[in-house]
Structure formats: structure tokens, C-alpha cells
Amino acid sequence: MRKVLQFALAIAAIVLAYLLYDSIMKPIRFEKERTKRYEAVIENLKDIRKAQVAYKDVYNRYTAGFDTLVDFVKHDSLPLVKAIGNIPEEYIDSLKSRSKAEKLALKQGIISRDTIKISVKDSLFGKNYNVDKLPIIPYTEDKKFELATGEVTASGLPVKVFEAKAPSEVILHGMNKRLIAAYNDGKDYKGLKVGSLSEANNNAGNWE
């Protein structure tokens, strides 16, 4: 009987030790996985921002459609000013300004500028970039970022804005809901986003 009791106590001690270990490790494992997922989502949001800024440079507006944005990156082009010739160093030294020296060299025909077209994809991301992943939230099968555009007033002037975001419940799907709630406690937006529809924030991300 004593051996049975000792065995039962040993088992109970092992179970308690495991529960204690698990209670310590659970938030550590959560934070490690959360950091990994958030870093991947942030990189995607930076790419969306980069594409949107380029799109606005070309069309003077942002787009609220990922189909349009993906097609733009895949098939459109950006103007690139190519320098032909060199500014004489003595011009720069005498004028104490590279921009003034450049204007003088252009006027005298020593240098010239030629505008060429370069692929948006190659220019922004490189040839091997998978553009089709742009709308997809990392670590999900097919969940897409929320994308919207708008206009706000800043210093009395209308400013075009956009916002791309992903809620933490989607980014961290399958993870401990209690720990997700604890992590989100007190945050203005429970997730990650870039840009804003309510203010002109220079397309900042809420992680920056």
C-alpha cells in the first residue's frame, strides 16, 4: 500500500512539475511565435506601402483594390531619370553647390538627362519577388489585408490617404486567445496597420 501511495505521489509531483513548467513556458512560446508572425506581417505591410507610394507617384492617387495594385506592380513601369555625362568638378568648387553646377552644366550641354521606363517590380522588389503574396497575410492560407483609401484635411489642404491592416486575431489565429487578449490590452488598434484613414501620418505603421 505504501509503495502504491509513493508511486501516486511521484506521479502527482511529475504532473505538478510539468504544469508549472508549462505555465512558465506558455507565454514564452507565445511571444516567440507572435514575434515571428508580426515580423512577417510588417514586411508585407512595408511592401504594400512601397507599392502604394509608387502607384500614387504615377496616378496621383492610391488604390483601394489589391487586384489593381498587384497588376500595377506586375505590368506597369516607373520613370527613371538617367544622367548622361559628368559635372565638371571645377563647376562644383567655384559655385559651392552641386545643384547650381548641374544647372550650369545642363545649360551648356556638358551633361544631359534622359527619362527611361523601368519595371515597377524590378525597381521596387527585384525580379524574383512573388507579387501575388502582396495581399496575403503571412501564416494564413488566403486571408487578405484590409485595404482602403480616403481623403483627409491637413493644414487646410486635402490629402489623399490609404490604410492597410490585419487584426491580431487573424495574424495569431490558432494561438492562445487569453494571451492574445492580454497582449492587445490597451492598444488603439488590435493588430498591425500602415497608413491611416483619419489623419495624414505620412503612411506610418503602428509598429514604428
Q: Which residues, including other chains, have CB under 8 Å from residue 102's CB and lie 6 or more apart? A: 87, 111
d(C-alpha 129, C-alpha 125), whole Å: 6
**Which triple of cell numbers denotes residue 108?**
551648356
Closest CA to 70 of 127, 120, 28, 5: 120
What is the C-alpha separation between 31 and 195, in angstroms, rounded? 25
Average pLDDT across the chain, whole number: 88
pLDDT recorded at residue 79: 80
131-179 pLDDT tens trace? 999 999 999 989 999 999 999 999 999 999 999 999 999 999 999 999 9
120 pLDDT above the threshold of 80: yes
Q: Summarize pLDDT for 141-154 with one digit per residue, the tens.
A: 899 999 999 999 99
Q: For residue 32, give the C-alpha cell.
A: 516567440
All structural domains of the chain with their residue ranges? 77-122
Answer with the residue of higher pLDDT: 81 or 118. Answer: 118
pLDDT at 8: 59
Q: Is the pLDDT of residue 89 over 50?
A: yes
Of 101, 61, 58, 56, give the one whose Cα is nearest residue 80. Answer: 58
- Model-level pTM? 0.79
Q: Write the single-letter amino acid at 58.
A: V
How sure is the predictor about 21, in pLDDT bands with cuts at 50, 70 and 90?
very low
Which range, 11-25, 75-89, 115-129, has the best average confidence (pLDDT)? 115-129
Quick one: pLDDT band at residue 180, thresholds 50, 70, 90? very high
What HEC string does 50-92 produce? HHHHHHHHHHCCCCCCHHHHHHHHHHCEEEEEEEECCCCHHHH
